[in-house]
Amino acid sequence: MKNILKILKFWPILIQTTFAAQTLAVLEIIPATDDIEITVTEYRHLTDELRRQAVRTLPSTDYAVLTRDNIISLLPPDEEAAQCLAESCAVDIGRAIGAEFISQGRIGIFGGDLSLSIELYETMGGKLLSSIVIESKDVKGLMAAIREQAPELFSKIKPLSEPRFSELKVDSQDEKPKMEPIPVPQKSSKSFYIAIGLDIIGAAVLGFGIYQHINASSLQDDYKKMPWLPPEQHGQYEDARKKANDATTMGNIGIAIGSALLATGIAVHIWF
**pLDDT given at position 233:** 58
Same domain, 79 and 197: no
Tens place of pLDDT per residue across the chain (272 aa): 444 444 444 444 444 444 447 889 999 999 988 888 899 999 999 999 999 999 999 988 788 898 888 877 777 666 555 555 555 578 888 888 888 999 999 999 998 899 999 999 999 888 999 999 999 999 999 999 999 999 999 999 876 554 444 344 444 455 555 555 545 445 455 666 777 777 888 788 888 888 887 887 777 776 566 655 565 555 666 777 788 788 888 888 988 897 888 788 787 767 65
Q: What's phi and psi for 59, nearest 5 deg?
A: -65, 130
Res 260: pLDDT:
85
- Report the distance separating Cα 98 and Cα 108, nearest Å: 29
Residue 120 lies in a domain: yes
Is 29 in the same domain as 81? yes
| 168 inside domain | no
Distances (CA, A) of 269 to 64, 75, 159, 206: 16, 25, 17, 19
Tell me whether residue 25 is in a domain: yes
Answer yes or no: do 149 and 24 share one domain: yes
- 29 and 150 share a domain? yes
CA 94 to chain centre: 10
HEC secondary structure over 22-82: EEEEECCCEECCCCCCCCHHHHHHHHHHHHHHHHHHCCCCCEEEECHHHHHHHCCCCHHHH
In a shared domain, residues 44 and 131: yes
CATH number at 111 reads: 3.40.50.10070
Do residues 44 and 115 share a domain?
yes
In a domain, 14, yes or no: no
* Parent domain of 96: 20-154
| Residue 230 and residue 147 share a domain | no
Query: What's the CA angle centered on 64, arms 78 and 93, to 5 degrees?
Result: 35
* 131 and 209 belong to one structural domain: no
Residue 180 domain-assigned (yes or no): no
Which of 154, 179, 197 delimits the end of a domain? 154
Is residue 56 domain-shared with residue 122, that is, in the same domain?
Answer: yes
Cα separation, 103 vs 117, in Å, equals 11
Angstrom CA distances, 237 to 83, 201, 220, 249, 259, stand at 52, 36, 11, 18, 33
Q: Are residues 33 and 130 in the same domain?
A: yes
Q: Tell whether 258 is covered by a domain.
A: yes
Q: What is the pLDDT of residue 139?
A: 94
Instruction: Judge whether 5 lies within some domain.
Output: no
Phi/psi-derived region of residue 109, left when phi > 0, alpha when psi is between -120 and 50, beta in every other case: beta
What domain count does the chain have? 2
In whole angstroms, what is the distance from residue 209 CA to residue 252 CA? 6
Say if residue 43 is in the same domain as residue 97: yes
Whether residue 150 is found in the same domain as residue 195:
no
